[in-house]
Amino acid sequence: MPVTEPIKTSPVFDPLDMNNYRVEKLKKAEKKGFEKWMERLGGPLAILSFILIYYFADISYLNDINPDILKETSLKRLKDTGMENFSRINYAMLGIFAASIILWITESIPSYLTSLIVVIAMVLTGVTTEKEAYAQLGHPVMWLNILSFVLASMLVTTRAAKRFALWFVLRFGKNATWIFFSFIVINIVLSVFISATTAKATILLPIFMVIAAIYGATSERRNNFGRNIVLQNLFQINIGASGFITGSGANLLAGSLIAGAMGQSLFGFQDWFIAAFPLCLILIVLGWLIGTKIIFPMKKEEQVPSIQGGMERLRTEYESLGRMTINEYKSIGIFVVVLILWATDKQHGISQTAVAFLGAVTALLPGIGVVKWNDVDIPWHLMLFSAGAYTLGAGLEATDLPASLVDALFSYFGITAQTPFWVLYLGLTFLMLFSAILFQSKTMRALIFVPMAIGIAQKFGYPVMSLAFPVALLIEHVYVLPFNSKPSALLYTTNHYSMSDSFKFGFTMMVIAWIMIILWGETVLRLLGYTAQGVFF
C-alpha cells in the first residue's frame, strides 16, 4: 500500500494569546499609490530643489526695479526686508532646508540618512563649521534623549511596565467603561516614565488586542468596541506625551529651541508640566467622550464580553510574571526619584539632563543597578535623525533664516506691525496643528513651526513664549492617518479600523484641540504669564 503523507494542519489561531500580537507578527503596511509615487519622486525633487535654490535663486534683481514701480507694488515691501542681501550661505541653508523637508516627507531614504546628508551638506557648503555641526550629537537634549531610553529600557527589561498595565486592567477593568478609564490612567502613567511613544504602543498593543477579542472584536470582524479601544489608545499614547517635556524627543527639541531664543540652556520640566498637563488630561477625557459616545457609540452587546473566561487569560499572563522582583522595585524607585527631581527642577536647579544622567548611571551600576548595557534599547537611527534635526536648527539660527523669511513673507503680503495678536496666534496654531495630517515627523514639524513662531514673536515684539509655546503644545497631535506617526502606522496594522474611521475621529479631535488651545491661550497661558496678553482680549 502506498504510504500517505499526514495531512498538515495549520495551528488554530487563539485570539486570547498575547504572543499572537507581538509587533514582529503584525503585517507591515506596504506603501501604495500616492505614497509609492512620493517615495520614488522624493529624491529627484530634493536634489532639484537644492540646485534651483542654491545655484539659481536670486532676489537681488529687486535692486534693478524702477523705484517708481516699486512704490506701486508689494515687491517694495520685500526689498525693504533686506532679502536682496542674501549671501550664498543663506541660499545654501534655504536649499538644504527645503531638500531635507522633501526627503523627510516622502521617506525616499531613511530619515537618519537624510539627517547625515544634512550634516555633511551644511559643512561642505560652509553654513557651519565641522566642529559645530558634529557637536550637535553632544547637545544636552541629545544626551537627555539617550539617557531617557536607558531609563525606559529599565522598566521594559524588568517587565515593571507590563506588570503595571496588566494589574491595572485586571484590578479596575470590571466592565467596558472602566476598561477605557483604565487605559487612560495607564497611558498617562507610562507617558511619565517612557519618552518613546512607539515603545508605549508596543507594550500596550498585546493587552488591548486581547481585550478587544474578549469583547468580540477581531481583525476579521470589526465592531465599535474594537475601533474605540485601538483608536483611544493611539490618541492617548500621543496626547499623554504632550503633558511632559520629556514625553518625546520632539518636545525636547521644541523646548530647546524656545530656551535658546530666550537665552537659556534648557526649558524647565516644571514650566511645561504646569501649563501642558491639565490640557493633556482634558483632551484625553474629551477624546473618550467623543469617540465612545458620539462617533463610535457601542451597542449593548458590544459592551459585554463575548468570550467567557477572557479576563482569566489576562490574569494567567499576569500571574506568569511571578512575584515582583527586587530589580522591579529598584527600577520603580530609581524612576520615581528621577521624576521627583525633574518635577522640582526650579527648586534645586539641577538640569533635566543631569538628573537623567544620575538615574541612568544608578540603573547601570554593577550590583546596585538593574540593567546591563546590552539590555538597553537605544534606537540609534532616531538619535542620528535627531542630531541632524538639531544641526539644521543650529544652521537656521546661525543664518537667521526664519526671521528673514518671516520678514519677507509678511512684508510681501502686507502684514504690518498693526496686525492683531489673535490673527498671528490663530494662524500659527492652525498651521502647526493641521500640518500633522500631511507631515510624517513630529520632529520635523517642531523644527519648522517653532522657529517660525519665535521669529514672528520677535518681529512683532511679543514674548517668545506667547506664540512659540502654544505651537509647541500641539506637537503630539499625530493620529489622524496611518502615516502621521510610528504608533499610527503600528496600530493601523491591527486592522480594527479603516482609514476613514481614523480620519473621522482624528480630524474631529484636531478641531477640538484647536478650540482648546485658543481657550488655553486666553485663560491658562495668560494667567501663568506666558503671554503678555490674551488671544482676543
Quick check: is 116 in a domain? yes
Q: How confident is the model at residue 62 (pLDDT cuts 50, 70, 90)?
A: very low
Give yes or no: residues 368 and 331 share one domain: yes
- Identify the pLDDT of residue 316: 84
| CA dist., res. 362 & res. 368, Å (int) | 7
Quick check: is 99 in a domain? yes
Q: What digits encode the pLDDT tens for the residues 506-529?
A: 999 999 999 999 999 999 999 988
Give yes or no: residues 142 and 117 share one domain: no
Closest CA to 171 of 180, 160, 182, 159: 182
- Identify the pLDDT of residue 504: 94
Give yes or no: residues 68 and 149 share one domain: no
116 touches 127 (CB < 8 A): no
Closest CA to 192 of 247, 148, 237: 247
- Identify the pLDDT of residue 276: 94
Quick check: is 265 in a domain? no
Give yes or no: residues 43 and 113 share one domain: yes
Checking if the pLDDT of 105 tops 50, the result is: yes
Last residue of a domain, one of 335, 361, 396: 396
Q: Which of 15-24, 138-147, 276-285 is predicted with the least confidence, judged by mean pLDDT?
A: 15-24
Checking if the pLDDT of 13 tops 60, the result is: no
Closest CA to 486 of 41, 29, 137, 103: 29
Quick check: is 63 in a domain? yes
DSSP string, 78-101: HHHTTGGG--HHHHHHHHHHHHHH
**Is the pLDDT higher at 106 or at 9?**
106
| CA dist., res. 124 & res. 92, Å (int) | 10
Average pLDDT, the chain: 81
- Identify the pLDDT of residue 433: 93
Place of cell 496626547: 239
Q: Is the pTM of this model over 0.85?
A: no
Q: Give the structural domain span for 82.
A: 31-127
Closest CA to 249 of 152, 125, 348, 394: 152
Q: How confident is the model at residue 279 (pLDDT cuts 50, 70, 90)?
A: very high
DSSP string, 418-443: TS-HHHHHHHHHHHHHHGGGT-S-HH
Quick check: is 207 in a domain? no
Q: How confident is the model at residue 21 (pLDDT cuts 50, 70, 90)?
A: low
Give yes or no: residues 118 and 153 share one domain: no
Q: What's the domain count of the chain? A: 2
Give yes or no: residues 84 and 140 share one domain: no
Checking if the pLDDT of 505 tops 90, the result is: yes
- Identify the pLDDT of residue 66: 44
Count each helix (H run) and each strand (E run) in the chain, helices first. Answer: 25, 0
Give yes or no: residues 62 and 119 share one domain: yes
Give the distance from CA 29 to its chain's centroid.
20
Report helix, strand and coil shares of the chain as percent, to nearest 5: 70, 0, 30
Quick check: is 448 in a domain? no
Q: How many residues are recorded in the chain?
A: 537
Q: How confident is the model at residue 9 (pLDDT cuts 50, 70, 90)?
A: very low
DSSP string, 10-22: PPPP-TT-GGGG-
Checking if the pLDDT of 371 tops 60, the result is: yes
Give yes or no: residues 391 and 333 share one domain: yes
Closest CA to 115 of 403, 441, 401, 437: 441
Give the distance from CA 167 to its chain's centroid.
28
| CA dist., res. 11 & res. 13, Å (int) | 6
Q: What digits encode the pLDDT tens for the residues 436-478?
A: 887 767 887 888 889 889 888 888 888 899 999 999 999 999 9
Quick check: is 72 in a domain? yes
Give yes or no: residues 66 and 90 share one domain: yes
C-alpha distance from residue 358 to each of 150, 255, 337 (Å): 11, 21, 10
Give yes or no: residues 355 and 381 share one domain: yes
Quick check: is 401 in a domain? no
Closest CA to 139 of 217, 256, 52: 256
Q: What digits encode the pLDDT tens for the residues 298-320?
A: 888 887 777 666 677 778 888 88
Give yes or no: residues 142 and 59 share one domain: no
- Identify the pLDDT of residue 184: 93
Q: What digits encode the pLDDT tens for the residues 75-93?
A: 444 444 444 456 778 888 8
Give yes or no: residues 113 and 147 share one domain: no
| CA dist., res. 456 & res. 443, Å (int) | 20
Last residue of a domain, one of 380, 396, 412: 396
